[in-house]
Structure 1
Amino acid sequence: MKFTSVVTAGTAVVLALGLAACSGGGGEGGGGGDDDVAITMLPKNLGNPYFEASTAGAQEAAGELGVAVDEVGPDAASPDAQVPFINTAAQQGVSALVVSANDPTAIGDALEEARSAGTKVVTFDSDTEPQFRDLFVNQASAEGIADKQLELIAEQIGGAGEIAILSASANATNQNAWIALMEEKLASDYPDIELVETVYGDDDDQTSFDKTAALLQSHPDLKGIVSPTTVGIAAAARYVSTSEYKGKVAVTGLGTPNQMREYVEDGTVEAFALWNPTDLGYLATQAAAALVAGDITGAEGDTFEAGRLGEYTVGADGEVLLGEPFVYDASNIADFDF
């Protein structure tokens, strides 16, 4: 619920930075202002606005904590692309790795070697198998994310009709968990909505754009597209916005306000959801610093202060939950800048 309270107050990223400067707890999160603490931020891929926002949050936390954060990563999100960056970070002796995993197991061996060398590992956004990391900072519960996306598409297509899913890569842990839950919920709670196809745009703009075109051509009765990835939803909206399908096919899912603003304002997209990725990167960095400082071990029940976000408790399997998804629409999208 922390995320909801921040967002409903109309907090944009710029304002959040200002609040952080005023927060009395910011310097008390793990890390204790140790200039020797070096944290490497490893997103799924570089050049992705979502991860640019999360890295901005990581750098905000680093400034408060007096630690160093560097971002590295591959150009494309693929299962093995992150391994060389993990190996390099471990060889450099970084204090902690903060990783959004492209695959739950492909980077496992590299992470185990890094941990053996003394590097703490925090996954965020997309998890590995639990044995490969110390903590997972989850943006929201998988159930909450799946439920919210189905609520949105059901509202927008009148509760009936054909829909498709445009996902990221076929190996993305978080995407697959959400899709599996959506499939279950569709079968039990939305009998008049049919999922006709799930396709993968590999978190690439052009690929996602082309997959959208193919979906609409293959399914002439399609009523909606759900894209649980920020790259995919923007590409789908861009295609629909200049096509005959505008106003006829709903597009929703998970996106950032800056990416989606023009499509909300021109009527292509009615509403979409997300958490605050800046807060996610901020929380992951606070958690990593707490691990490095020895304030927590990652055990269930551990608690730590996360600056302006307040106190968090580690749950089962080393999971820390940021909050619940938030819906962006024409009534509030102007309040946000990320």
Structure 2
Amino acid sequence: MKFSRSVAVLVAAGAALALTACGGAADDAGGGDGVTVTMLPKNLGNPYFETSTSGAEEAAGELGLALEEVGPETSTPDSQVPFINTSAQQGVAALVVSANDPRAIGDALDEARAAGTKVVTFDSDTDPEFRDIFVNQATAEGIASKQLELISEQIGGSGEIAILSASANATNQNAWIELMEAQLASDYPDIELVEIAYGDDDDQASFDKTAALLQAHPDLKGIVSPTTVGVAAAARYVSTSEFKGKVAVTGLGTPNQMREYVEDGTVTAFALWNPGDLGYLAAYAASALVDGTITGAPGETFEAGRLGEFTVGEDGVVLLGDPFVFDASNIGDFDF
């Protein structure tokens, strides 16, 4: 394990940054200066999470929070546990976590909450009992539908497709895949899902899985990858192979990762939300929990800076919005 970076942002003039000297989480209940928040992505070195942390840093600057990013090198089910335990021992006011597994980190989160730390999940949820708020990038139904809509358009509505996911335990990918399977059966009878492969959100593993999929399924017409690491790796492989122009690649990616593949014709279109906005909203939700504006109960509202007002839904879910489609006509307008 290692720490990628530590970011402390305090807007009060002359404020001292002293994370090791901060008080317990209960002492931070007033919000603002002195409140410490730990950002815990699935793994470090992932451009998607680097962008979400940048959004959280922006919010921290506006709110006067001290924000620290920590995380494991690999996204295994229990790799986040030591970081949760350390944050709780340090008495941080809030943890903002993208869960590698819905239950594997549950006991650690329970201990942190018992010590007074608020828990916000974002991007990938735990079981609801283990956190206060889940900041969801989009509804699972919306994400699944958009990816199937894109691949159907790109392969002419029929043929074999494969899914290249992250880890087999990833909460969000598994929810989307389950919905895609159901929608394929009901709405896309001429599209056949021939395999679900897992690249573990590792670039080389995802690249190799793409090669294996194309070897195993010579009639494959498309690959859907609902993970930013996977879709970029798949596009990279296809872009220099005999399959360019023959096998469609789409899924969830960032513009900076996918730009060259859109511009060279490997990828027609892909989708995502703005992960910077997701991190920004998660930090505002954490602050609202710490200062008592919200508790996580349905119907509560809070302000999230430039994004406006949000309402807590059932099971403590806060929704960012709908997926956005990037293609050659607009990808030049974005930089993340």
> What is the TM-score when the length of structure 1 is the normalising length?
0.91
Q: Distance in 2 between matches of 1:87 and 1:32?
A: 23
Q: Secondary structure at the match of 1:46?
A: coil
- 1:189 alignment counterpart: 187
1:207 shift after superposition? 0.1
Partner of residue 211, structure 2: 213
Task: State the alpha-carbon separation in 1 of the partners of residues 187 and 31 from structure 2.
Answer: 50
Which 4+ residue blocks in structure 1 deviate beyond 4 angstroms? none
SS at match of 2:43: coil
Question: Is 2:31–2:287's contact at 8 Å kept on the other side of the alignment?
Answer: no
Q: Are 1:256 and 2:250 an aligned pair?
A: no
Q: Deviations over 1:133-177 (max 9, x none)?
A: 000000000000000000000000000000000000000000000
Matches within 5 A, 1:37-76: 37-76=35-74
Aligned with residue 179 of structure 1, among 177, 180, 187:
177
Secondary structure at the counterpart of residue 224 of structure 1: strand
Q: Report 1:1-338 matches (<5 A).
A: 34-338=32-336
Gaps of 5+ in 2: 1-28
Distance 2:138 2:293 in 1: 24
Maintained 8 Å contact 2:38/2:87: yes
After superposition, what is the alpha-carbon deviation per residue over 1:20-63, rounded to whole angstroms, capped at 9, x for unaligned?
xxxxxxxxxxx876211000000000000000000000000000
Distance 1:142 1:52 in 2: 23
In 2: Cα distance, 1:246 partner to 1:283 partner: 38
Q: Which digits, 9 at most, give the CA deviation of each residue in 1:222-253, with x for residues without a partner?
A: 00000000000000000000000000000000
3-state SS of the aligned residue for 2:296? coil
Normalising by the residue count of structure 2, what TM-score does the alignment of the two structures yield? 0.91
Conserved 8 A contact 1:208-1:232 = yes
Aligned AA for 2:283? T
8 A Cα contact 2:31 2:291, kept in partner: no
Mapped partners of 1:276, 1:262: distance in 2 = 19
Q: Secondary structure at the match of 2:67?
A: strand
Which residue type is aligned with residue 316 of structure 2? Answer: G
Q: Deviations over 1:118-140 (max 9, x none)?
A: 00000000000000000000000
Q: Which residue of 2 aligns with 1:27?
A: none
Over aligned residues, Cα RMSD in angstroms?
1.0
Q: Give distance in 2, aligned partners of 1:34 and 1:226.
A: 42
In structure 2, what is the Cα distance between the partners aligned to 1:274 and 1:134?
25
Partner SS for 1:61: helix
**Unmatched tracts of structure 1, length 5 or more:** 1-30
**d(CA) in 2 for partners of 1:82 and 1:100?**
9
CA distances 1:169-198 after superposition (whole Å, capped 9, x unpaired): 000000000000000000000000000000
- Secondary structure of 1:153's match? helix
- Of all paired residues, the percent bearing the same amino acid is 83
Tell me the amino acid that sits aligned with residue 238 of structure 1: R
Which residue of structure 1 aligns with residue 10 of structure 2?
Answer: none
Question: In structure 2, what is the Cα distance between the partners aligned to 1:74 and 1:272?
Answer: 28
Cα distance in 1, alignment partners of residues 280 and 31 from structure 2: 15
Count of aligned pairs: 309
**8 Å Cα contact 2:30-2:290 kept in structure 1:** no
Map Cα deviations across residues 291-312 of structure 1 (whole Å, 9 max, x no partner).
Answer: 0000100000010000000000
